[in-house]
Structure 1
């Protein structure tokens, strides 16, 4: 039985791509673009704009490959660049506003058993105000802590917590409306 070192193969591919080997860059792009488009789509409603941001972010990935230290996941490194590019895009477009709300109420939310599809859930998230959506995605999807989010978005930690609380409440209300509509009680 022959054992293939896949990690070494990816390391060599990254090294070749960092040396501007277009074929290696294309292979990295092909391997990661589907998942990274999904990341960008979490932040940017319009699929075509999300794709544009993803392509711009991949240009940054290729320009900075020599800085990747092979500590941790390569996919995680790319994902961080994608998220940062989405945030930059939304800032430039002035589509994100944060209500400075240091006071928030920690609320418990019911686990929702629903027949919602992934597209339905994405649609609900897309309907959130941009600030709520960004903090929700960074915290719930990407796994950042409020302190990290505050630093990334140049807001206070309390504002990050408040935005998340408001986003969760709004999503809960939307899901309840959908459930009532499906049950014919609205």
Structure 2
């Protein structure tokens, strides 16, 4: 039995409102979904809030999963939308024309940079830049889908992605090799 098959079996219990199956479903997928939430959050506490909101939405809308595609993919999409909803309610979309050296911060880098370090740099992006970058580059959404989800035009999504990439390139170009690397924000 594959992992996806085991997950679907657990999900069948969730559809019957079996609390133990819901808890097992959460414990099985929470670590992977937390990684998704961390891409959209400023810190771990905020990611935890997004994770909880996402699981609440998933359990509330459990009947909407039509067994098309993977169950984990369906849940991942819910997590992304939970993050988007959180930011849409909290802040209006603001584009930053110029990122000063103070905003970018000083970043020191070692050749063996890990994914978590790159994610830390991405989390330094302004909210809208980070959302668009994550949705496009990591989640694979089209600009049309991003525009619909974030309430912006397709052109604004493209522009925001370009600006996010420019900021990231600037940050990465400032990385310096050091024997005792650290990241300072």
Q: In structure 1, what is the Cα distance between the partners aligned to 2:161 and 2:7?
A: 37
Give the alignment partner of residue 115 of structure 1, picking from 106, 112, 116. Answer: 112
What do you get for the CA RMSD once the two structures are aligned? 2.2
Aligned to 1:34: 31
Tell me how far 1:38 sits from its aligned partner: 0.8
The alignment partner of 1:26 has SS state of helix
5+ residue gaps in structure 1? 102-113
In structure 2, the CA distance between the partners of 1:100 and 1:123, relative to structure 1 (3 Å rule), is closer
Tell me how far 1:116 sits from its aligned partner: 2.0
Aligned to 1:43: 40
The structure whose RCO (Cα within 8 Å, separation 6+) is larger is 2
The alignment partner of 1:178 has SS state of coil
TM-score norm. by structure 1 comes to 0.82
The alignment partner of 2:175 has SS state of helix
The alignment partner of 2:112 has SS state of coil
Q: In structure 2, what is the Cα distance between the partners aligned to 1:52 and 1:177?
A: 32
TM-score norm. by structure 2 comes to 0.82
Aligned residues: 167
Tell me how far 1:119 sits from its aligned partner: 2.4
In our comparison, the structure showing a higher alpha carbon Rg is: 1
5+ residue gaps in structure 2? 98-110, 180-185
